[in-house]
Structure 1
Amino acid sequence: MTEWIGLDRIASRPLPGRTVALANGRALDHAAFRDEASRWRSAFEAAPGSRWALYFDDTAAFAAALFGAWHTGKAVYLCGDNLPETVARLRAEVDGFAGDFANEDVLTAGAPHAAAEWPPLDEDATHLMVFTSGSTGDATAIGKTLSQLAREVEALQATFGDTLGDAIVHGTVSHQHIYGLLFRLLWPLASGRPIAPRLFFHEEIVAALDRPALLVSSPAHLKRMPDTLDWSNARTHLRAVFSSGGALPQDAAAAAGHLLGLAPTEIYGSSETGGIAWRQWRGATPPWRALPGVEWRIADEHLEVSSPHLPTRDWWRSEDRAEADGAQGFRLTGRADRIVKIEERRVSLGALERQLASLPQVAEVRVVVLPEARLQLAAVVVPSSDGAARLANEGRRAFARALNDGLADAQDAVTRPRRWRFVDALPMNAQGKVREADLRALFRPERPQPQWLSRSDTSAELEIVLDPELAVFDGHFPQIAILPGVAQLDWAVRWGREAFALPPRFLRMEMLKFQRVLRPGARVRLHLEWLQAKSALGFRYESEHGAHASGRVVFGEEAV
């Protein structure tokens, strides 16, 4: 097993034969890494100012610049992306930029540093700034010392290191976020595990796992692992799979464990706290267990922690609600603020609302999370007078696209609303309050998702399940919910147009019959028939209880 080296001595001590990173089939040894860090040390030593923003796509290049900056006493600002608004915000925070920044005067590496000596870093005087939305939703810089980071990677090594050996470190997450920085850069540097380039696609993961390896991933990747790929190499060579950044659902953990051959290990923490606890999925949802050195307690249903990964050992209150589970573990029961995780990205609903409200087309707005199979952000917008005119002239889709584009400099595609509703006024209850349940109700589907059983030029058959949450059940009737006849007609025509090339103009109904009511929860088959000679669409709703409704809709061409 490779010797453990403290983070303060990574660049200080020559380590002959030690591989730092792999790229394009070549190994970057520690001497080459140290040479590149020396060039950055020269550049940062000659550069004025003490605060520098770093952004590199390549992990090894970032590592060299990071240690070069630290060894000249610079505080490094770790920005999660290089979007224009992020860069604009950083200009007020930092003295300069280094790395992959467009349209910026960036610092470049210089000649190798003249000094042969690299004194160890002072853990308490070496600083990193990470950004988080915080409880208010405003971008906030969180200061970290090397001491905090070093204690965390030591805790990771103490908890998991014995089973990993010299495994290659693969990952789907970026080193520009604190989780990726710790697991894909700092921990591998200290433990001597080679760092592989970041992976983006499952096919890349399958191809890369041909030697002993660990995988640093996220729920977004683990939830979408295709069973059509050959995962036999993973089952042979993987020694650990880590997941962090958001909750990993039980079914996704089980599916990933089946394909990869070992249960994922989930890490819980935040930018403010660093790592707090871990759990490994085996069967039922396991409780969280604290990392070494971390203490926890529950006060007023909030989780509080005391940790060497925090600036002090004072108790820190999180916005996560929790409950104890036995003597050593706890379970999380939800959030107390309006910070949510979408595809493992931390999103402040309040900040997103403020950004939308700043657009001239918006008078009022509320953002909610739709608890569907995949969580989605949804926005309910009251247009301004200018916005209402644009909505009327351009239509809903173009107006939604314009609002989406208005967020592009501040939010990437994942953290923008996916669904939109435009209303004259926000829904309020009798007390004048806007409730999230009423906002979510605006996005409830009007019709179910059909399963097409057969389709031809003249006939089609599909099956639907009448979800009780369908909006069409509202008010029909309060005492006993039934599916309205007008909805049945609308669905038959809509799905008929999907199946056949129907003429554009509705003329009349024929032979309409409603035999049995349709109730929430029913599984129904809809038979469609295109009677071209009569220019009529025949439809028939049936279930295990028999016929429910039938009729014909006659169509014609547009009037001249």
Structure 2
Amino acid sequence: MTDWLPLESFACQAYPDRAIMADDAGCNHAALRRRIDHWRRAFAGVDGGDVALYFDDVYEFSAALYGAWHAGKRVYLCSDNLPATVQRLCSRVQALAGDFVAGEGLRVITAADEMDAVDAAPRLPLDPIATRLVVFTSGSTGEPAAIEKQLRQLSAEVQALQQALGAGLDAAVVHATVSHQHIYGLLFRVLWPLAAGRPLGARVFFPEDMVAALSQRDCVLVASPAHLKRLPAQLPWHSVHGRLKAVFSSGGVLPADAAGEAARFLGVPVHEIFGSSETGGVAWRCWDRGQPDWQPLPGVQWRSREGVLEVCSPHLPSADWWTCQDRVEAAGQGFRLVGRVDRIVKIEERRVSLSALEQQLQAHPQVSEARVFALRGPRTSLAAVVVAHDGHGGALPAAARRALIASLATHLSSSHDAVTRPRHWRLLDALPLNAQGKLSEAALEALFRPQQPAPQWRARGEQQADLSLWLDPALAVFDGHFPQVAILPGVAQLHWAIHFGRQAFALPPRFLRLEALKFQRVAHAGDTVQLHLEYQPARQSLGFRYVSEHGPHASGRVVFAEHG
């Protein structure tokens, strides 16, 4: 590695003149080192050893992360800045830093902007054992689990990534669809680029932004399967060919057909990384041929014990072997994944393999993806969530929906009787993955008791968005409203406008007031309504309008503020 700075020495020896941000020459390594000093001074005034970070801005995040470490703090990495997340942190940390709202129960730290507020104490390399980071898993049951990592684990992992995957990347700009607030994004979008001296680019969430960013100069794309599976064919992808040097994907398994389509659009094969928050990176594969096998990352040892994957690596907290929840079989110099461990449930005292059901459903010609799980209640039964091959399962008319479900049940009948087949079904355009590209059981269960409809986005821009919402009669908002004829409550329409507005735009955090609110026509269960959103940044207002084939239903404006 000709260009390489160990993570523990980064703030002491950073490349002085090399750019940190691709679109701002002033944001170089020397400026970042000064900003780290600002944050170090700010965190030094915190009583206690634990702080939590959440920044949309990757430059400020990088400075705060190293500033906290150099102040001797253990850093908690938040996946979001929602009130429930802050509430969970109250018993763990003494302060917050970043895009948090003051008054949420914890002190919010800010860094001084003036250089005379910074002391001139020399920086020493970080202790690779004492310097700690706490990340959270997505949690298979929906409840996140905290995992502590030493800096030596993170450092070993980025060096393994550079050794296995860094050839030819040089000074390529690192663009990402994923957030640096999760371990995958942190490694690939922050720590690895900083150590290798690569500039950081903007987060490119929408495909149109992706094309514009990737076509400017030599670059790398850090993505998730959720994005790579949904690249629109009509965009001018040819403009990124030759510019894009590598594409990385992690957070979930990338289907073979999606890998092939992504390579065709982007001009380079996808490099997929397998691992977890607990194990760190384990293996990688390149989709440049057929169905590639997984190759262990440098320094990672693996073995199969009774068909279950075990790993030993410097990315783990100890030198002990770690038992994963994956079944594997040896293949060439690596391995293949062949399902998850212990996905056996009992239905009416009958043992049922959820993996076997999923595999059989995915063999159906109209199915792209399927997930089956046990839906708990007075009587446990099986539920299936299915993504159709044409990508329009969620928009099927009722008759076509019933016909497809009947076809799937018949398809399963050759090997499963009525008791061991799913009784509840949902047909979707896509699985409900979280920001990490993970699918939790809680998210699956919510589909069978949803609080809001699954959106079908028609258009998204900087200030306008349009989406279609099917008012599923199973939505919880219809309970008791009213028993004779279910209608959509007005408060739900307000909540959905804000909820989907926050998905489409960077809205200010605080609700201020409502303006020009009108309810013109009731919407009934089973209707499909169109929601038009318009954000005016100068006024900090979100306009919304619900319409359907029956006419206008509701409209108004929601005004926000940065602070209460």
Could you tell me the TM-score, scaled by structure 1's length?
A: 0.64
Report Cα offsets for 1:264-296 as digits up to 9, x if no partner. Answer: 001111111111111111232211111011111
Choose 1 or 2 for highest CA Rg: 1
Task: Establish whether residue 79 from structure 1 lines up as the match of residue 78 from structure 2.
Answer: yes
Please give the alpha-carbon distance, in whole angstroms, between the structure 1 residues aligned to 2:152 and 2:168. Answer: 25
Change (3 A) 1:273 1:53: same
Change (3 A) 1:121 1:337: farther
The one of 164, 188, 195 aligned to 2:200: 195
Report Cα offsets for 1:411-467 as digits up to 9, x if no partner. Answer: x989xxxxxxxxxxxxxxxxxxxxxxxxxxxxxxxxxxxxxxxxxxxxxxxxxxxxx
Task: Establish whether residue 224 from structure 1 lines up as the match of residue 314 from structure 2.
Answer: no
Alignment of 1:390-429 (within 5 A): 390=480, 393=483, 398=488
Deviation at 1:249, TM superposition (A): 0.9
Task: Establish whether residue 260 from structure 1 lines up as the match of residue 266 from structure 2.
Answer: yes
Could you tell me the TM-score, scaled by structure 2's length?
A: 0.63
Please give the alpha-carbon distance, in whole angstroms, between the structure 2 residues aligned to 1:296 and 1:309. Answer: 13
The one of 221, 234, 242 aligned to 1:215: 221
Please give the alpha-carbon distance, in whole angstroms, between the structure 2 residues aligned to 1:68 and 1:27. Answer: 19
Change (3 A) 1:208 1:388: closer
Secondary structure in 2 matching 1:164: coil
Task: Establish whether residue 107 from structure 1 lines up as the match of residue 109 from structure 2.
Answer: yes
Are the counterparts in 1 of residues 19 and 25 from structure 2 also a CA contact under 8 Å? no
Are the counterparts in 1 of residues 248 and 273 from structure 2 also a CA contact under 8 Å? yes
Q: Hey, what does 1:18 align to over in structure 2?
A: 18
Please give the alpha-carbon distance, in whole angstroms, between the structure 2 residues aligned to 1:150 and 1:89. Answer: 28
Change (3 A) 1:380 1:192: closer
Please give the alpha-carbon distance, in whole angstroms, between the structure 1 residues aligned to 2:153 and 2:293. Answer: 25
Change (3 A) 1:22 1:88: same
Change (3 A) 1:150 1:367: farther
Are the counterparts in 2 of residues 133 and 348 from structure 1 also a CA contact under 8 Å? no
Q: Hey, what does 1:530 align to over in structure 2?
A: none
Alignment of 1:426-465 (within 5 A): none
Deviation at 1:135, TM superposition (A): 5.5
Secondary structure in 1 matching 2:3: coil
Change (3 A) 1:394 1:185: farther
Please give the alpha-carbon distance, in whole angstroms, between the structure 2 residues aligned to 1:392 and 1:148. Answer: 56
- Give the unaligned 5+ runs of structure 2: 345-353, 356-370, 389-429, 433-443, 451-472, 505-547, 550-564
Please give the alpha-carbon distance, in whole angstroms, between the structure 2 residues aligned to 1:332 and 1:296. Answer: 15
Q: Hey, what does 2:7 align to over in structure 1?
A: 7
Letter in 1 for 2:265: L
Q: Hey, what does 1:375 align to over in structure 2?
A: 431
Q: Hey, what does 1:247 align to over in structure 2?
A: 253
Deviation at 1:398, TM superposition (A): 4.5
Secondary structure in 2 matching 1:242: strand
Please give the alpha-carbon distance, in whole angstroms, between the structure 1 residues aligned to 2:128 and 2:7. Answer: 9
Deviation at 1:138, TM superposition (A): 2.8
Deviation at 1:389, TM superposition (A): 6.4
Deviation at 1:230, TM superposition (A): 1.4
Change (3 A) 1:192 1:247: same
Secondary structure in 1 matching 2:63: helix
Deviation at 1:100, TM superposition (A): 0.2
Q: Hey, what does 1:139 align to over in structure 2?
A: 144
The one of 120, 127, 131 aligned to 1:122: 127
Are the counterparts in 2 of residues 137 and 348 from structure 1 also a CA contact under 8 Å? no
Letter in 2 for 1:166: A
Report Cα offsets for 1:310-359 as digits up to 9, x if no partner. Answer: 1012111111222222343332424545999xxxxxx9989xx89xx9xx
Deviates more, 1:71-80 or 1:275-284: 275-284
Change (3 A) 1:244 1:381: closer
Please give the alpha-carbon distance, in whole angstroms, between the structure 1 residues aligned to 2:281 and 2:343. Answer: 20
Change (3 A) 1:259 1:136: closer
Secondary structure in 1 matching 2:200: coil
Alignment of 1:23-422 (within 5 A): 23=23, 25-103=24-102, 104=104, 105-110=107-112, 112-134=117-139, 137-209=142-214, 210-334=216-340, 336=342, 368-373=383-388, 374-375=430-431, 377=444, 379-380=447-448, 390=480, 393=483, 398=488
Report Cα offsets for 1:34-55 as digits up to 9, x if no partner. Answer: 1111000000011111110100
Secondary structure in 2 matching 1:5: coil
Are the counterparts in 2 of residues 21 and 60 from structure 1 also a CA contact under 8 Å? yes
Alignment of 1:460-539 (within 5 A): none
Are the counterparts in 2 of residues 369 and 375 from structure 1 also a CA contact under 8 Å? no
Q: Hey, what does 2:399 align to over in structure 1?
A: none
Please give the alpha-carbon distance, in whole angstroms, between the structure 2 residues aligned to 1:270 and 1:297. Answer: 17
Please give the alpha-carbon distance, in whole angstroms, between the structure 2 residues aligned to 1:278 and 1:31. Answer: 34
Deviation at 1:241, TM superposition (A): 0.3
Deviation at 1:73, TM superposition (A): 0.9
Percent identical among aligned pairs is: 47
Deviation at 1:26, TM superposition (A): 4.1
Change (3 A) 1:348 1:195: farther
Please give the alpha-carbon distance, in whole angstroms, between the structure 2 residues aligned to 1:394 and 1:151. Answer: 63
Please give the alpha-carbon distance, in whole angstroms, between the structure 2 residues aligned to 1:172 and 1:40. Answer: 27
Deviation at 1:371, TM superposition (A): 2.6
Secondary structure in 2 matching 1:154: helix
Please give the alpha-carbon distance, in whole angstroms, between the structure 1 residues aligned to 2:127 and 2:274. Answer: 28
Report Cα offsets for 1:479-520 as digits up to 9, x if no partner. Answer: xxxxxxxxxxxxxxxxxxx99xxxxxxxxxxxxxxxxxxxxx
Letter in 2 for 1:109: A
Secondary structure in 2 matching 1:236: coil
Secondary structure in 1 matching 2:221: strand
Question: Alignment RMSD, CA only?
Answer: 3.7
Deviation at 1:235, TM superposition (A): 1.0
Deviation at 1:367, TM superposition (A): 8.6
Q: Hey, what does 1:436 align to over in structure 2?
A: none
Report Cα offsets for 1:107-137 as digits up to 9, x if no partner. Answer: 0003543134110000000000000144665
Letter in 2 for 1:6: P
Deviation at 1:196, TM superposition (A): 0.9
Secondary structure in 2 matching 1:158: helix
Letter in 1 for 2:431: L
Please give the alpha-carbon distance, in whole angstroms, between the structure 1 residues aligned to 2:85 and 2:246. Answer: 34
